[in-house]
Amino acid sequence: MEDDIQKGPSDHNHGGDAANLETAKVMDCLRESVTTTQDTPQYLASSLSASISNGSVGQFPQLSSIERTIRNMRNAHDAVPALPQTRQDFVILEVYKLNTQRRELPPV
């Protein structure tokens, strides 16, 4: 019986932190919206900062860090094409050449 491991009650010395929970939920919503919308990082970050409560403001990273995170996530997922720098870089993907009925749009 010496091999039995018994766990007894422990002294939990702090309460839960609701701000951490809210931060995690809001950041999860942000991660979902980053790849599904084409809004600018500034717009997403500002709408995020408007939706958080005053009690959890201190748990969030700086606004510039959130914007950088959004850009990095979009680059990793290739959610939207990058802005072209030259005319040769301007390529319209096939998915953007279709209308709502999945028919090809007429040339311009």
Q: What is the pLDDT of residues 40-58, one digit of tens each?
A: 888 888 888 888 888 888 8
* Structure confidence at residue 81 (pLDDT): 57
Residues with Cβ within 8 Å of 67's Cβ and at least 6 positions away in sequence, in order, are 41, 42, 44, 45
5 has pLDDT over 80:
no
12 domain residue, yes or no: no
* β-sheet bridge partners, residue 98: 104
Its domain, for residue 38, covers: 18-79
C-alpha to C-alpha distance for 19 and 16, rounded to whole angstroms: 9
28 located within any domain: yes
> Is the distance from CB of 67 to CB of 23 less than 8 angstroms?
no
Domain count, the chain: 1
> pTM for the full model?
0.52
- Asked if residue 74 is part of any domain, the answer here is yes
Q: Does 24 score more than 60 pLDDT?
A: yes
Q: Is there a contact between 74 and 34 (Cβ–Cβ < 8 Å)? A: yes
d(CA 65, CA 45): 9
- Is 48 a member of any domain? yes
